[in-house]
Amino acid sequence: MPELPEVEVVRAGLEPAVTSATISSVEVLDERGITRHDRSIGELSAMLTGRRMLGAARRGKFLWLPIAGDSDASAPKALLIHLGMSGQVLLREAGEPAGRHARVRLVLEHPQHGELAVHFVDQRTFGSLAVDTLVPTIDGAAGGLGTDLSLVPSQVAHIARDPLDPAFDDKGFLRALGMRRTTVKRALLDQTLISGVGNIYADEALWAARVHYEQPTQTLSRRKARELLSEVRLVLQKALAEGGTSFDAQYVNVNGASGYFAHSLNAYGRQGMPCARCGTTMVRASFMNRSSHFCPHCQRVR
């Protein structure tokens, strides 16, 4: 599943193409591509056609494109995008036909770039688009990266801020982490505690901080917890600089290009290989219907 770096690469690629662009047409090619949309508030196509987009924002693994409001002073709204496991948002020429797994196609008219199209492609159909109402943020800060508005889609309001968000509260996170009665990797994957971190980057940060994935959160010292948060932030920044992690053709940026961080991984997918730090053979263990990758020498339960 795309994690924060992959989603941020998509957001950054979309931003110049959608900001100030008017949606001239919307074609829902497969209803599975709009499962998050609440039809009781209106049809997605009708709610978007003719509307002007104001930018591209992100919190954790969620993207949204705020749209200019109606003259009737209705609640502000945004086009919400969740990539699921295999979703792709691709910029294309306006006349380019939709591919096999395209679910939704938007045609835009940009004041500088002219006509272009946005294709939402999703092979496994776990991703979705939706028009969602924007609600005030709890802390009064901007909703996420890429927006100055202190608003966030209602479907994202329960998601915690991510470590690259300027409004992320380090002290609040460390306090909440210490109060949890769980294990550290489960805490890192809890999107209501810290968002944007998935299996890949949790494994990478835990390896870098020398913390076992089953270490109880309440036993982490404040110093080690701060170190772990620092490593989470660092690995996300490194992955972002390399365009994210691509293991197959499912994750690509808006131009269809893959990321390169897979070549820089120290833990995830390296079972049977020597630890880059101590040479001990890396191990893969079953964890929450997925896997954890770690060094049994460097990462011990303390």
Q: Report, as residue numbers or ranges, the catalytic residues.
A: 2-3, 61, 290
Nearest one of 69, 71, 67, 70 to 53, comparing CA atoms: 67
The β-bridge partners of 285 are: 292
Q: At 183, give phi and psi (nearest 5°).
A: -105, 160
Place of tokens 């199209």: 117
Compute the distance between CA of residue 29 and CA of residue 40 in angstroms, rounded to an integer.
20
Spatial separation of the C-alpha atoms in residues 198 and 50, rounded to whole Å = 36
CA 137, CA 140: separation in Å to the nearest integer? Answer: 5
